Amino acid sequence: MNSYRILIVEDEFIIAENIRLIVRSFGHTTIGIVGSGADAIKKARNDSPDLVLMDISLAGKLDGIQAASVISNKLFIPVIYLTSILNIEFLNRAIATNPYGYLLKPVVERELQAAIEIAMHKFHVDQQLLKDKSVLEKLNQKLVKRDNIINRRLRFERCLSKISKNFVNVINIEDSIKYALKEIGLLCDADGCYVELLKDSSIYKWKKHGIAPINIDIFKIKNQEFMEKFYNGEYIFIENIDDLLKDSILEINIYKDTRLEAFIAIPIYKRGDLTCFLGIENPKLISNNNWEDISILGVISEIIGNALLREDTVNELKDSENKYKTFVENIPQRVFLKDKDFVYISCNNSFADDLDILPDEIAGKTDFDLFSEKYAKRYRDTDKRIMTSGRIENIEGPYTVKGNELIVAATKIPIKNEFNEVISILTIFSDITEQKTAELKIQTAFAELDSIVKEKTANLLSLNKQLQKEVVMRIESETALIKSEAQLRYNNSVLSATLEATVNGILVVNNQNEIVLYNKIFLQMWDISDTLIKSSNRDDIIAVTAFQMKDPDNYIDKIRLFRANPSSKGFHIEYLNDGRIFEIISQPQYLEGQPIGRVISYTDITEKVNLETQLRHSQKMEAIGTLAGGIAHDFNNMLTVFKAYAHMINKKIRQDQSDQQIADLIVMVNDTIQKAVELTKGLLTYSRNRFSYIFIGCSYKSNIQFYWVIRTNRSKIFILKHTK
């Protein structure tokens, strides 16, 4: 099996790659994959693949059928359609491009392999038929051209017989020229050298007598008048040869014949180019005033030019005829020629071998001599039709060879004469039995393929429904995922806002000792910059925080304990060197039941601890105040009694005018009782949460300063100074 270079035209990447793998498994080479009609034409023009596998529905302005039309008709590359379209309109358009196959997707490997082999075989057969047809047409042109040359030769001979009575009985042109120039001239080429065409010319007579003729180079004559005449196709007549020799720049080493006095030169052209000239050296036979003789010489020069041209043409035709004869005799196609009476004239070896005769033996025979009456009558009717119509026909039909019936494709070409009359029929035919057998197999394969396509289509419809369900489920899943992602983004936003809004410092670390999350409060509490935390790991941050602790060793031991037990929880209070007190809570972070990290919360409880201390002190003082109030109340009652008795005693003494010394003592007792009363009032005021303003003093002429002793709470007394 041959290996072919194949171009794949498919705009679906997965399908194209699948086709490429299948083609490669057959041993073929893929020169490329393109997805548009324009790219397919460009690739085919540049790389000349052996075969193109073409999809119909393509991206771009050109579909696969339009691209295939260009590739097939202009680039002469076979095309097989690989498509999922089974539509009459597209099928008719595809047929119009003369494809070599039409396969439906999905591609079946054995069907594609068979289609490729059949397409390439049919393409090679078609190319051979085109070559044979071209050869026959060229052969026909050569035959027509040869007939024209023969007719022209006859016209020259008739013309020659009319212009000279001396040439009436002369048939051969070469003999006529020899006869005309035998006594009067020499034939020279364009360089002035004598042409040895005429064996009996006067040059040999002169040489025989030892006289050398004058060799004149026409192209080197200085006389302008002579040169212009010569190049314009006019003859040159020189009466005095001595004048010509004086104007020549040549070195003439000759023996001058005294009888040579004049010279006439008539140019001879072949295919429009100056080939040689006819030189007349005998002044006794020609003169400048003898126009009749000069006109005869002009005709003779034309005949000479045509004779030279004809001689070249005949030689070329002989070579060409030999080449084409060799070609026709050896090609595998059968070739034969019949005359207008349907009688065989000649044939090639292939056709003669079929008939078991020699090629020369076919002349004079008819179809009824060579074939059965059934076939002979059919062949005769076909030849009559072509003889009447005068048109080339391509025919397919049966042909019997040595008992075997074949199917052949024949091309019959009518050969016409100059009057457009059919004078013979040239026939060339080839055996296409294998091709027809292959086409029958293709038709059978197409029928099987149609059945497979229907089955595959039903399966495809079922798969399509299933795929639609899966697509719907996938869309629903994607929609739910999108919603989940949106909810996740929302939750992350809430979490971020919550972290930044809390008064606690938050630090999240994973089991790999990496910092996962933190908030700004954490950085502010420990005086850590963004740059430091982004470039550090957990151990670096622990070192920074431990450095600020009063008991860093205890703090680090607790952290080690948490690392050793990832599921453990922790709560402890740490005292910092600057007096702050932090409450630290450590909780493990879980994912699917496994600890993956730890969340640490730092709370500044310094003010809380101080307030609790003050509260406890206040509670103590309140208890003391309550106790003092009770004591003061009872003591105040006793002082009242003491004061009453002292007042009565003092009054009694004053009435009785008793001892003055005792009265003074009573006064001192009253003063002491009054102080005790004031003290008792203070205790009662303290126990009742009251405060009083005490005027300390003032100075009228100087700045007046007021001092208040204000009891703001149960634990502290502030003295505020106000200056006015």
Could you read off the pLDDT of 631-663 as tens digits, one per residue? Answer: 767 777 777 777 777 777 777 777 666 566 777
Name the pLDDT band for 284 (thresholds 50, 70, 90): very low
The pLDDT assigned to 244 comes to 47
Q: Determine the 3-state secondary structure of 548 from DSSP.
A: coil
User: Is residue 102 predicted with pLDDT exceeding 90?
Assistant: no
Q: Determine the 3-state secondary structure of 148 from DSSP.
A: helix
Q: Which residues of 242-256 are buried (b: 16+ CB within 10 A; e: fewer)?
A: eebeeebeeeeeeee
Name the pLDDT band for 222 (thresholds 50, 70, 90): very low
Name the pLDDT band for 288 (thresholds 50, 70, 90): very low
The domain locations on the chain are 5-128, 164-317, 332-431, 502-604, 614-723
Q: Cβ–Cβ contacts within 10 Å for residue 515, how many?
A: 17
Name the pLDDT band for 151 (thresholds 50, 70, 90): low
* C-beta separation of 555 from 546 below 8 A: yes
The pLDDT assigned to 260 comes to 43
The pLDDT assigned to 269 comes to 65
Q: Which two tokens stand for residue 713?
A: 């709470």
User: Is residue 498 predicted with pLDDT exceeding 70?
Assistant: yes
The pLDDT assigned to 70 comes to 92
- For Cα atoms 315, 363, 384, give the angle at the middle one, nearest 5 degrees: 105
The pLDDT assigned to 191 comes to 42
Same fold, 164-317 and 332-431: yes
567-595 pLDDT, tens per residue?
A: 888 888 888 998 899 888 988 988 888 88
* Fold classified for 332-431: Beta-Lactamase (3.30.450)
Q: Which residues pair with 597 in a beta bridge?
A: 510, 589
To the question of domain 164-317 being in CATH 3.30.450, the answer is: yes
The structure tokens 């393509």 sit at 58
Q: Please tell me the CATH code under which domain 5-128 is placed.
A: 3.40.50.2300
Q: Please tell me the CATH code under which domain 502-604 is placed.
A: 3.30.450.20
Which carries the bigger pLDDT value, residue 622 or residue 337?
A: 337
670-688 pLDDT, tens per residue?
A: 778 777 777 777 766 766 6
Distance CA 298, CA 295 (A): 5
